[in-house]
């Protein structure tokens, strides 16, 4: 903050001159209301502004139908144009049966299309919104974005609206977000799409006098409203109108049902009891893993098994500053110290399920680490 104030004191005349010059060019400019999300990530390629209704957006043509040279005949070119127009019509008219389902604060999108057809569209959606993907796995239906700053949280006063990008490097929210998307096939030609958010916030490290001497990045709670905002935008990308998408994403919360109970059998032996059938338990465990410090490498619904990696922040070495000091590093050192586990969901009748943690080979994980994993999952499942 002190550095920012010093910057403004040193450059106040220059900034005023820029503002006056810009104002003289553009005249009176009304300030528009910010959308809830506006991420800016260096190196990402932005597409159309998805805050507009889909009927005002030109759908992107499939690159397979772009004429690369003059060798194509007129009839072939006309067929390609017709195919592209048909694609645009399909995108903008939406997908019949697409809707959001909700359980407490959890929301997910149900689309009557196969996951193999939806995956490239969801990937394009994140890139159009200014994100880089650090995980892109069509075989598992999982993708994850890099960390990015939500610029919509910066107040758009008359100075910023006039000067524009000249001040972008000065303002910073001190918050970063990343998003994980998982496509789950429940039945043929029907896909469930889950979007989960992780957040980090920059906090001051103070000395004995209370002065801020440095900053560190720490985790902040998940934001279900950000997840809902992107679900609504994804519905727009798939062809629903903005009004319909927002209405579905903002439906009232249904009554919350009983969640998870950690049952400890011994010093390091435990399991989780869920008062829900297998289908719901499978979904809830998947969301809990996405929102925690787990990386889902693969899953097998037929056996109720999630194959995961987990990083304990204590294992990352305090000499390097801990987990969050490397939060935005391009080197994924955490993967080197991640351990593999299996999280297994077992049906216990029609209205109950049991969750256990196994080691990488499928044996019992009766260790403090196994108990810690179950404790973390219980906390997420109880929210």
Asked if the model's pLDDT at residue 370 lies above 80, the reply is yes
Fold match flag (31-65+79-84+93-256 vs 257-383): no
Residues β-bridged to residue 99:
110
The reported pLDDT for the residue numbered 282 is 95
Asked if the model's pLDDT at residue 264 lies above 60, the reply is yes
Mean of pLDDT values over 174-194: 93
Asked if the model's pLDDT at residue 185 lies above 60, the reply is yes
Query: Any idea which of 105-109, 156-160, 234-238 has the lowest mean pLDDT?
Result: 156-160
Half-sphere exposure of 87 (CA within 13 A, CB side): 17
Q: What are phi and psi of 220, to 5 degrees?
A: -125, 160
Tokens of 202: 């920059």
Asked if the model's pLDDT at residue 53 lies above 60, the reply is no
Burial tier of 325 (Cβ tally within 10 Å: 0-12, 13-18, 19+): middle
How much of the chain exceeds pLDDT 70, in percent? Answer: 63
Mean of pLDDT values over 169-173: 69
Eight-state DSSP code of residue 312: -
Higher local confidence (pLDDT), 344 or 104: 344
CA distances from 164 to 136, 159, 169, 170, 172 (A): 33, 8, 11, 12, 15
- Reading phi first (left if > 0) and then psi (alpha if -120 to 50, else beta), residue 213 is in alpha
The reported pLDDT for the residue numbered 38 is 81
Q: Which residue has the tokens 């920012």?
A: 4
Give the pLDDT band of residue 157 (cuts 50, 70, 90).
low
Across the chain, how many H-helices and E-strands are there? 8, 15
Higher local confidence (pLDDT), 205 or 152: 205
Residue by residue, DSSP assigns 246-272 as: HHHHTPPPPPPPP-EEEEE-SSS-EEE
The reported pLDDT for the residue numbered 210 is 86
Segment 230-257, tens digit of pLDDT: 999 999 999 999 898 888 888 776 656 5
Domain boundaries, the chain: 31-65+79-84+93-256, 257-383
Tokens of 249: 């994403």
Give the pLDDT band of residue 103 (cuts 50, 70, 90).
confident
Mean of pLDDT values over 224-229: 91
The reported pLDDT for the residue numbered 95 is 80
**Alpha-carbon span 339 to 343, nearest angstrom:** 13
Give the pLDDT band of residue 51 (cuts 50, 70, 90).
very low
Average pLDDT score, the chain: 75
Q: Which residue has the tokens 């999952």?
A: 377
Residues β-bridged to residue 201:
175, 218
Tokens of 187: 């039945």
The reported pLDDT for the residue numbered 290 is 92
**Which CATH entry fits the domain spanning 257-383: 3.20.20.80, 3.30.310.170, 3.30.450.40, 3.40.50.1820?**
3.30.310.170
The reported pLDDT for the residue numbered 118 is 96
**Alpha-carbon span 46 to 147, nearest angstrom:** 16
The reported pLDDT for the residue numbered 67 is 34
Q: What is the CATH number of domain 31-65+79-84+93-256?
A: 3.30.530.50
Higher local confidence (pLDDT), 340 or 153: 340
Residues β-bridged to residue 225:
none
- Reading phi first (left if > 0) and then psi (alpha if -120 to 50, else beta), residue 7 is in alpha
The reported pLDDT for the residue numbered 4 is 47
Residues β-bridged to residue 187:
190
**Alpha-carbon span 360 to 344, nearest angstrom:** 12
Segment 311-367, tens digit of pLDDT: 765 554 443 444 444 455 444 444 556 799 999 999 998 889 999 999 999 999 999
Higher local confidence (pLDDT), 252 or 370: 370
Segment 12-33, tens digit of pLDDT: 444 444 444 444 444 443 333 3
Query: Any idea which of 172-186, 212-226, 275-289, 319-333 has the lowest mean pLDDT?
Result: 319-333
Query: How many CB atoms are located within 10 Å of the residue 282 CB?
Result: 20
Tokens of 370: 């196994």
């Amino acid at each position: 903050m002190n550095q920012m104030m010093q910057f403004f004191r040193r450059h106040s005349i220059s900034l005023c001159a820029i503002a006056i010059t810009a104002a003289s060019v553009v005249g009176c400019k009304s300030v528009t209301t910010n959308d809830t999300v506006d991420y800016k990530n260096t190196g990402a390629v932005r597409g159309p502004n998805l805050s507009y209704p889909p009927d005002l957006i030109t759908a992107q043509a499939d690159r397979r139908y772009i004429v690369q040279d003059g060798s194509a005949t007129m009839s072939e070119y006309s067929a390609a144009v017709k195919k592209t127009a048909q694609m645009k019509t399909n995108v903008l008219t939406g997908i019949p049966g697409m809707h959001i389902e909700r359980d407490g604060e959890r929301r997910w999108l149900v689309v009557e299309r196969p996951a193999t057809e939806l995956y490239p569209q969801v990937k394009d959606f994140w890139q159009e919104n200014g994100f880089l993907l650090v995980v892109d796995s069509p075989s598992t239906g999982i993708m994850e974005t890099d960390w990015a700053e939500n610029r919509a949280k910066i107040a758009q006063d008359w100075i910023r609206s006039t000067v524009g990008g000249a001040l972008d490097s000065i303002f910073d929210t001190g918050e970063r977000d990343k998003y994980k998307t998982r496509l789950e096939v429940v039945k043929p030609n029907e896909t469930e799409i889950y979007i989960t958010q992780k957040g980090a916030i920059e906090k001051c490290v103070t000395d004995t006098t209370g002065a801020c001497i440095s900053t560190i990045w720490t985790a902040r709670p998940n934001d279900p409203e950000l997840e809902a905002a992107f679900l609504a935008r994804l519905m727009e990308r798939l062809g629903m109108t903005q009004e319909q998408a927002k209405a579905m994403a903002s439906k009232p919360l249904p009554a919350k049902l009983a969640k998870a109970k950690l049952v400890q059998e011994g010093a390091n032996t435990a399991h989780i009891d869920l008062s829900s059938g297998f289908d719901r338990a499978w979904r809830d465990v998947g969301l809990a893993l996405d929102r925690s410090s787990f990386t889902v490498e693969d899953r097998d619904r037929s056996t109720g098994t999630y194959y995961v990696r987990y990083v304990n922040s204590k294992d990352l070495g305090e000499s390097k500053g801990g987990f969050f000091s490397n939060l935005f590093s391009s080197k994924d050192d955490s993967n080197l110290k991640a351990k593999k586990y299996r999280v297994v969901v077992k049906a216990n009748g029609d209205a109950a399920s049991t969750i256990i943690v196994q080691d990488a080979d499928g044996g019992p994980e009766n260790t403090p680490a196994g108990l810690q994993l179950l404790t973390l999952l219980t906390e997420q499942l109880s929210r």
